[in-house]
Amino acid sequence: MVTPSRNTSDAAQAMQIPAEESAPSAGIPALLELLPVGIFTTDEQLHILSINRAARELTGIDAEPVLGQRCDEVLRCSFCGPQCAACEASLLGRARTAFPTDIVRPDGSRCSVLLDAVPIGEGQVAVIVRNVTGGNRIRVRPEEKWSFHGLLCASGTMKEIVDRIRDVAPYNSTVLILGESGTGKELVARALHAESPRSSGPFVAVNCSAYSENLLESELFGHVRGSFTGADRDRRGRFESADGGTVFLDEIGDISSKIQVKLLRVLQEREIERVGENTTRPVDLRVIAATNRDLRRAVAEGRFREDLYYRLNVFTLQLPPLRQRVEDVTALAKYFLERIAEETGKQVRGFSEEVLRLFASHTWPGNVRELENVVESSLVRARGPIVQAVDLPAGFRGGGLPELEPEDRIRAALHRTAGCVTRAARLLGVHRTTLWRQMREQGLRREEFLLG
């Protein structure tokens, strides 16, 4: 301990710090520079105001080029958003400790860190960075939320998915995302775009099952005036709109053979032809496709071109259904509850132990989308601050929709909603266009279920 009788020079010598570095005129920045722990400060927009020596060594960056830049752009933090420690401290004005994340250094290497963020006034935040790479990595409890560009995960399976996204994102390779409805395929596509060199360009998403063949052709490739009835002007398609960025083709397994041929040319030549036009136009884009169908089987049955399949299947990401990553259920449910409660203003703060057990044992045929809908429905029904089993949607605990065969589940949902496809889709945890397609496949018509 330094006694009052000791002068500044003696204290500095005891700490093995030159006297001029410890002089009062040097102030707080000099003190932070000497500390052995990494610290940086940000303003209310999370622009970096200062970063000390230990933080520079840990992150591999120089101070001058990064001052004034947003911290997520500098650190390339894998988990950023309202739940991040720095964001929470700045937005809510409260400290957040031991927040786990990964940062990417300028040389491309990754470092696992824990962040402690403390508000220091006027929206500014001081962030302490601790290296926990390798054996020092602190295990994250299932209830803690990890977010990677909107993907929440606590399970090792999803962290492996995140690692694979990071591996392929920097390249221009076509990516095929496979997984059941509601597993988050579009979120993965957006993460791939955000982590890529094309992140400053557009991200254009198209649900291929939402259009007829002719409409999809015009939507993707554009058309020229007079090419068909109603084409009163030239129109750019989604591929041209995505120039310099990424196009995401969801439900790719539903496209017709005609569209398959034209898509193959896009992948091979990076050029398109508008409908009604004979000249080609170059496009600079990355293609990410997704489907919940078995494309190998579709190829074997002659419904999907083999050459297109191999063009799409350069790099595959198989998203696991929610029932195979039970560790994520609690984290996701709590995240949805917090978000929906904040949006609605309803004072509901958690789930009973019985509800969490039911969530853990449920098979979640609608995956994350179904879970979100169940949480929203339960929050609306809740009479107190804690969601109880009685607040869960009818049929959730067995004998209801999740336990039926696919066709019977669709019928039950349509009966329950009196033929309202939008509400039935929410009940089933699938997208409305997906339900329309499933109804066509099962030969079901909404008119059968209308009241009266």
**Residues 177 and 132 both lie in one domain:** no
**Residues 84 and 184 both lie in one domain:** no
Model pLDDT, residue 246: 96
List the CATH number of the domain containing 197: 3.40.50.300
Local confidence pLDDT in tens for the 452 residues of the chain = 333 333 333 333 333 334 444 444 456 677 778 888 889 899 887 888 889 988 888 888 876 678 888 787 777 765 555 557 787 787 777 888 777 777 778 877 777 788 889 998 887 899 998 887 654 333 344 344 467 787 876 777 888 898 899 899 999 999 999 999 889 999 999 999 988 999 889 999 999 988 888 889 999 998 888 777 777 788 889 999 999 999 999 999 999 999 999 999 999 999 999 988 888 999 999 999 999 999 999 999 999 999 999 999 999 999 999 988 888 898 889 988 988 888 888 889 899 988 998 888 888 888 998 898 889 888 888 888 999 888 888 666 543 444 445 676 787 678 767 788 877 777 676 777 788 888 888 888 887 777 54
Interhelix angle 421-428/406-416, rounded to 10 degrees, is 130
**Residues 102 and 221 both lie in one domain:** no
Do residues 425 and 432 touch, judged by C-beta distance below 8 A?
yes
Cα→Cα distances 222→11, 208, 271, 274, Å: 74, 15, 12, 5
Residue 157 lies in a domain: no
Model pLDDT, residue 239: 95
What sections of 130-180 are H helices per DSSP? 156-168
Residue 7 lies in a domain: no
- According to DSSP, residue 24 is labeled G
**Residues 359 and 378 both lie in one domain:** yes
**Domain assignment of residue 196, given as a range:** 170-318
List the CATH number of the domain containing 440: 1.10.8.60
Model pLDDT, residue 134: 52
List the CATH number of the domain containing 26: 3.30.450.20
**Residues 339 and 424 both lie in one domain:** yes
**Residues 297 and 400 both lie in one domain:** no
Question: How many domains is the chain built from?
Answer: 3
In the block, tokens 């957006």 appear at: 190
Residue 3 lies in a domain: no
End-of-domain residue from the set 138, 158, 189: 138
End-of-domain residue from the set 302, 318, 334: 318
**Residues 295 and 379 both lie in one domain:** no
Do residues 50 and 32 touch, judged by C-beta distance below 8 A?
yes
Do residues 273 and 236 touch, judged by C-beta distance below 8 A?
no
Model pLDDT, residue 155: 78
**Residues 299 and 374 both lie in one domain:** no
End-of-domain residue from the set 291, 318, 345: 318
Residue 5 lies in a domain: no
Model pLDDT, residue 267: 94
**Residues 408 and 375 both lie in one domain:** yes
Residue 119 lies in a domain: yes
**Residues 284 and 373 both lie in one domain:** no
Model pLDDT, residue 277: 86
Residue 156 lies in a domain: no
**Residues 110 and 124 both lie in one domain:** yes
Residue 162 lies in a domain: no
Residue 8 lies in a domain: no
**Residues 189 and 310 both lie in one domain:** yes
